[in-house]
Homo-oligomer: A and B are copies of this chain.
């Protein structure tokens, strides 16, 4: 029986990236829909639920993507409301690649080490990847700070994390790049996870190289200038100035591997829900 993936997203055009990745993960057919509104979801999901019966249901699955994470989250809620009892299919949520990226980022940082009690800073952490990385780092036992150029945005993110996941994260304000050293020193930061926009420099080389408490730096920005001066995108646990560095391509390669493994795992049974924490657990099993 052919493996069919129903791809749903609110963006006008269903993502090329996610579709190619799904085919590379062994999906036989993608039925893709862009421009999906909340009120479209029920019928589309019924089509997935009621065509193949019983054991065969596991050969159909749903992928939710798109660049706008809140719109994708509304689709995700609606999909889960539509299922009942055993009449359901597996679902993967990866709007804007945020879930697979956060899982790869934190897995690189953990790298088989215990992070218990470490002090982590998620720099420029108010976006989807930053928020998810903060939650995963807290789950690994870190004390987590989440920074933004605007304090209220950091506070908002911290509040969302507490309300939704019951996890405490400290919002911090870093108005200008020059303030970063002081902030990191004051908080005794051991881990810096840089989640800034493409081309946004967040950490100067003399800052990170001279902070004695800092042990691990990771950055998801692949576009020059990188988030961390003096890092290379291909750094994959490279030691520089006594710190371990993980660049955007090393993280991105793992992200792709996670994405493909995740799509494959959708078809094992008909009840898998791959949100970011499930994706992180999956990442740990990949042996990288």
Task: Give the B-binding residues of A (Cβ under 8 A).
Answer: 1-2, 4, 6, 12-13, 15-21, 23-24, 28-33, 35-36, 40, 43-48, 50-52, 60, 256
Contact = CB atoms under 8 A, between A and B. Distances in A.
Given A13-B33, A32-B31, A20 B40 contact: no
A47 B4 contact: no
B40 A16 contact: no
A120 to B, nearest CB: 28
A18 B47 CA distance: 8
A31 B16 CA distance: 7
14 contacts: A1-B24, A2-B24, A4-B20, A4-B23, A13-B33, A13-B40, A15-B47, A16-B31, A16-B45, A16-B47, A20-B47, A21-B51, A23-B29, A29-B30
Nearest to A20: B51
Nearest to A56: B24
Given A24-B51, A29-B23, A31-B32, A17 B46 contact: yes
Contacts of A30: 29, 31
For the residues of A in contact with B, the DSSP-based class is mixed
Given A12-B40, A23-B29, A30-B31, 8 more contacts: A16-B44, A16-B51, A17-B51, A18-B47, A19-B47, A20-B31, A20-B52, A23-B28
Given A12-B40, A24-B52, A52-B24, A47 B2 contact: no
A239 to B, nearest CB: 25
A47 B12 contact: no
For A23, A33, A36, A60, the residue with the greatest tally of chain B CB atoms inside 10 Å of its CB is A23
Contacts of A50: 17
A81 to B, nearest CB: 16
Contacts of A23: 2, 4, 28-29
For A13, A18, A32, the residue with the greatest tally of chain B CB atoms inside 10 Å of its CB is A13
Contacts of A12: 35, 40
A2 to B, nearest CB: 5
A278 to B, nearest CB: 23
Nearest to A21: B51
Nearest to A32: B31
